[in-house]
Amino acid sequence: MMMIDKLAYSSRLRDKSPALKASLAVGTLLICVGARSFMVSLITIIVMGGLTVLSSRISLLKYLKLMSIPFGFMVLSTIAIVINLSDKPMDLLSVPVGSGYLAISYHSLTEGILLVMVALASVSCLYFLTLSTAMLDILEVLRRLHCPILMVELMMLIYRYIFVILDMASAITTSQHCRLGNKDFMTELRSMGQMLAVLLVRSLKRSSQLFDAMESRCYDGEIRVLRESYTAEKRELIGTAGFLAAMLAIAILCRLKGIGLW
């Protein structure tokens, strides 16, 4: 979490218009999900991944590690789609189980691969946005889109408290390690339980202190911060619109001609 925040603030695109970056990321995501095409998903992964690696001062290896986190969940959730319980064998693989078969058909396998590709492409769009745009800028975009103030305020407070809790957890864990709190598995489990118990009490106390500090500064239900002014250059607008138009054209072509569809 902290690494993502640091990368967002050190990105070469940090000073570019957050509204334009959000339009590029969300627009590409919607086209990718709507097209459900292997070709469109592959192009999205390559383009968004390339933009993220080149702009966010992150190595390709670290980016692939970030992508591997959701990839594991995608594979596990796709197993239920790929493997079917059938009363007759299927064309790709069939394993007898009692009176039926655990079977994999060509159709279910391709559907599973397509689902993973679309999900990875969507994640790459969101990584591009989060690794190039600070959270405060994203929240400012939501404000300008007239999202409910309560929702934006909750997002800001939750985002702040994540770092508060991570900082406390890191300090407690370091203290436990200095006292050999991880010398074996059972000791580590006991240390983990103690850390979580202490973390709950301290986080509640810290949140109360932070709220008191906010109220002492005339907090009235809305956190007001200085807003930076961003202006998108003409070539950036043309480039973003051109890319989205090209992706939309490719998606329509794939849908009409069946190219890259499984």
Q: What is the dihedral of CA 81, 83, 89, 93, to 10 degrees?
A: 120
Claim to verify: residue 251 and residue 171 sit in the same structural domain? no
Residue 225, domain member (yes or no): no
Please determine, for residue 151, whether its predicted confidence score (pLDDT) is greater than 80.
yes
Of the ranges 79-93, 159-173, 189-203, which one carries the lowest mean pLDDT score? 79-93
Claim to verify: residue 101 and residue 120 sit in the same structural domain? yes
Give the pLDDT confidence score for residue 259 in this predicted structure: 64
Give the pLDDT confidence score for residue 150 in this predicted structure: 84
pTM attached to this predicted model: 0.81
> In whole numbers, what is the pLDDT of the chain averaged over residues?
86
- For residues 28 and 19, what is the distance between their CA atoms, to the nearest angstrom? 14
Please determine, for residue 225, whether its predicted confidence score (pLDDT) is greater than 70.
yes
Residue 239, domain member (yes or no): yes
Claim to verify: residue 200 and residue 82 sit in the same structural domain? no
Claim to verify: residue 175 and residue 88 sit in the same structural domain? no
Number of domains the chain contains: 2
Claim to verify: residue 154 and residue 210 sit in the same structural domain? yes
Give the pLDDT confidence score for residue 104 in this predicted structure: 82
Give pLDDT tens digits for 35-77.
Answer: 888 999 999 999 999 999 988 878 889 899 889 988 888 888 8
Claim to verify: residue 239 and residue 133 sit in the same structural domain? yes
**How large a percentage of the chain has pLDDT more than 70?**
98
Residue 226, domain member (yes or no): no
Residue 59, domain member (yes or no): yes
Q: What is the DSSP string of 70-94?
A: HHHHHHHHHHHHH-EEESS--SSEE
Claim to verify: residue 183 and residue 70 sit in the same structural domain? no
Cβ 56 vs Cβ 132: under 8 Å: yes
Give the pLDDT confidence score for residue 97 in this predicted structure: 79
Claim to verify: residue 153 and residue 196 sit in the same structural domain? yes
Claim to verify: residue 43 and residue 168 sit in the same structural domain? no
Please determine, for residue 98, whether its predicted confidence score (pLDDT) is greater than 90.
no
Give the pLDDT confidence score for residue 134 in this predicted structure: 87
Please determine, for residue 131, whether its predicted confidence score (pLDDT) is greater than 80.
yes
Claim to verify: residue 188 and residue 241 sit in the same structural domain? no
Claim to verify: residue 27 and residue 133 sit in the same structural domain? yes
Give the pLDDT confidence score for residue 222 in this predicted structure: 74
Cβ 17 vs Cβ 29: under 8 Å: no
Claim to verify: residue 10 and residue 118 sit in the same structural domain? yes
Residue 126, domain member (yes or no): yes
- For residues 107 and 99, what is the distance between their CA atoms, to the nearest angstrom? 23
Give residue 261's pLDDT band: very low, low, confident or very high (50, 70, 90): low
List the domain range (segments joined by +) for residue 133. Answer: 2-142+232-257
Give residue 229's pLDDT band: very low, low, confident or very high (50, 70, 90): confident
